[in-house]
Chains A and B, each alone.
Chain A
Amino acid sequence: MKRRDTRAALLFLSPWIVGFAVFTAWPILYSGYLSLTDYDVINDPAFIGFENYARLFSDPKVALALGNTLFFTAVQVPAYVIVSLALAVLLQQAGRASGFFRTVFFLPKMTPPVAVGILFLLLFNGQSGLFNAALGVVGIDGPSWTTDGSWVKPGLVIMSLWTVGSSVLILLAALRGVPEELYDSAKIDGAGSWRRLTSVTLPMISPALFFVVVVNTIAGLQTFDEAYTAFFGAGNTTYANDAALFYVIYLFQQAFEFLHMGYASAMAWLLFLIVMIVTAIQMVVSRRLVHYEGASR
């Protein structure tokens, strides 16, 4: 019976085992090999050693794209987490209206990113966009969000806050999981509402917060859809868009527009390294800040 069980288990796992071998393991190995070659799809890969990697460090566009991406992620993730936490706290207090507002906050997540990109170009239009019109109401003369290089990324950050829906839901679920007794005993001990937030709520939901931070950081480092839609593509000659050149966009261009598959593979490995380092740092920091109840993990 034991051996039969192992056989059955392997049968159930077989789709993943095959898929892992073909679509993960082999691509990883082959990508590693390609990164050491010059390859344009048409001709066979030509081995060039570490030339692609050396080029990475002398390519100003890699530096630009990397800088854009890190800046965007560093601004976007904290803003995203604060906004989703604030909305989650509001929803928790909302009582019966909570279901309605939860829907409203989640809907943008269901909008195709390409449509969000189009919307961005419209709402953030410098002269006649809705966003600047709204700023005008409170007496602020809004910048040219879509054409002024220094405002493109802040604009994209603001736009990304529109799609916080799923993080809000995760944090809301975590907030609801905090046992009421903890609040009651904190109150007895004389803790005010701010103190209860920092000493009870935040530690108790820290695993969910950590999850949201990590997932959004990884996603932020791979930003593509909205920025590509709004600033890149066939027929676009106004490349004032270096400000929106994110790392994965440049990688995509190198691979599928210029057919520099070897170079793009090297870029992919650099991205992998960066994701690993950033995630590792977050893990180390989290060990001090994230509070796991029990030892079930």
Chain B
Amino acid sequence: MSADVDVVPAAAPRPQPPVARPARRRATSPRRRVVRWVVGIALVAAGIVFAYPFVWLISASFKPRGEVFDNRLIPKTFTWDNYVQVWQEAPLALWLLNTAIVTVLAAGAVTISSAMVAWGFSYYRFRGRGVLFALVLGSMMLPGAVTMIPTFLIWNALGQVGSLTPMWAHNLFGSAFYIFLLRQFMLALPRDLFDAARVDGANAWQLFWRIALPLSRPAIAVTLVFEVQAVWTDLMRSLIYLRDASTFTIPRGLKALVDAFGFGGEWHWEILVTASVITTLPMIVLFFVAQRHIVEGVVAGGVKG
């Protein structure tokens, strides 16, 4: 893990507030040293609070049924049985595959379409631009509940309820938050570059595809990672649209397990714990791979928001 994530991505031309000022270490007065100790202890304490549930979860997944609750960090009896059993009880591989398919399609679709729209808003000046962009921003405020039912009826009328299509296809039309994020980034790209390319005979699509898009890579990465996370964890849509266990995504599958091995009667915690570990791991891996971009993305999306 990089020691310190630089908030300004290498290719970002956007002016940013000064970051990573030199560590303040001039005077080490006794008072300052006390402060540093207090900060350190508080951080470690908070870190333990945040990390412990993960460690606990992983540890519990290796405990036999009766010992899940024993709150030992190192299992008294270490067993792989839970993993074997989960694999037999639930088509986890299929659920992971479904989720992967939906996630790739959703993230790919939303990234390309949002980038196109963002480019349309950032490079071109045309009448009505302000009004249209206000509509984009306004639609971010609309609670999902308002559009949920008619959207369901659309997919129902198209005969797509029960298939994976409604899980991602709306993403072909862009998404307000990403349009906003990408537009902010594209606005800061140097205009001269595009004017020069136009003089050289580049058409509108080439400007976008060959110049703007590659230059926007940091913001694109953010969009991809955010959407992957959102789709991977999306419960409500999967509850609405998925009917058959063979089409379940991870959140829907996990919920089905809670219903079957929990509410259904006796709680089989070892199954639920183990399935949670298996389905969370891919996100953790993604996080470590894309850490830098996630941090930059939250920063870009948040502070400018």
The chain A residues found within 8 Å of chain B, CB to CB, are 5-6, 8-13, 15-20, 22-24, 26-28, 30-31, 34, 41, 87, 90-91, 93-115, 117-119, 121-123, 125, 128-130, 133, 162, 166, 169-170, 173-174, 176-177, 179-180, 207-208, 211-212, 215, 218, 221-222, 224-225, 228-229, 233-238, 248, 251-252, 255-256, 261, 264-265, 267-269, 271-272, 275-276, 279
Given contacts A115-B254, A236-B259, contact A12 B117 (CB under 8 A): yes
Q: How far is the CA of A241 from the CA of B182 in the complex (A)?
A: 42
Q: Which residues of B contact A207 (CB under 8 A)?
A: 303
Q: Is the CB of A208 within 8 A of B254?
A: no
Encoded as 1 (CB less than 8 Å from any A CB) or 0, chain B from 139 to 167 comes to 10111111111111110100000000000
Q: What's the interface size class on B, roughly?
A: 35 or more
Contacts of B117 in A (CB 8 A): 12-13, 15-16
Complex formed: what's the CA distance from A293 to B276 in Å?
Answer: 45
Which residues of chain B are near A41, meaning CB under 8 Å? 153, 156
Set of chain B residues within 8 Å of A112, measured between Cβ atoms: 232-233, 235, 250-251, 254, 276, 279-280, 283
Query: At the interface with chain A, which of B14-22, B84-92, B214-222?
Result: B14-22
Task: Determine whether the beta carbon of B280 is less than 8 Å from that of A115.
Answer: yes
- DSSP majority for the A interface? helix
Q: Which residues of A contact B23 (CB under 8 A)?
A: 95-96
> Is there an interface contact between B287 and A107, defined as CB atoms closer than 8 Å?
yes
Which residue of B17, B68, B135, B151 is within 8 Å of A176 (Cβ)?
A: B17
> In the bound complex, what is the Cα–Cα distance between A145 and B46 (angstroms)?
22
Interfacial chain B residues near A96, Cβ < 8 Å: 3-4, 23
Which of B71, B152, B173, B262 is A19 in contact with, Cβ under 8 Å? B173
Scan residues 42-77 of chain B and give those whose CB is less than 8 A from a CB of chain A.
42-43, 46-47, 50-54, 56-57, 60, 68-69, 71
B147 x A28 contact (CB < 8 A): yes
Contact B18 A233 (CB under 8 A): no
CB <8 Å contact, A176 and B19: yes
Tell me if B120 and A13 are in contact (CB < 8 A). yes
Closest chain B CB from A107 CB (angstroms): 6
Identity of the chain B residue whose Cβ is nearest the Cβ of A26 in the assembled complex: B150
CB proximity of B290 to chain A, nearest CB, Å: 10
Return 6 A-B CB contacts under 8 Å, by A number: A9-B124, A31-B149, A115-B280, A119-B276, A166-B298, A235-B263
B69→A27 contact, CB < 8 A: no
User: Beyond A31-B149, A176-B20, is A20–B51 a contact (Cβ under 8 Å)?
Assistant: no
State whether B303 touches A208 (Cβ < 8 A): yes
Residues A108 and B50 in contact, CB atoms below 8 Å apart: yes
Quick check: is B204 within 8 A (CB to CB) of the other chain?
yes
Q: Are B60 and A19 in contact (CB under 8 A)?
A: no
B33 sits at the interface (CB 8 A): no
Q: A123-B56, A265-B149 are in contact. Are A103 and B1 (CB under 8 A)?
A: yes
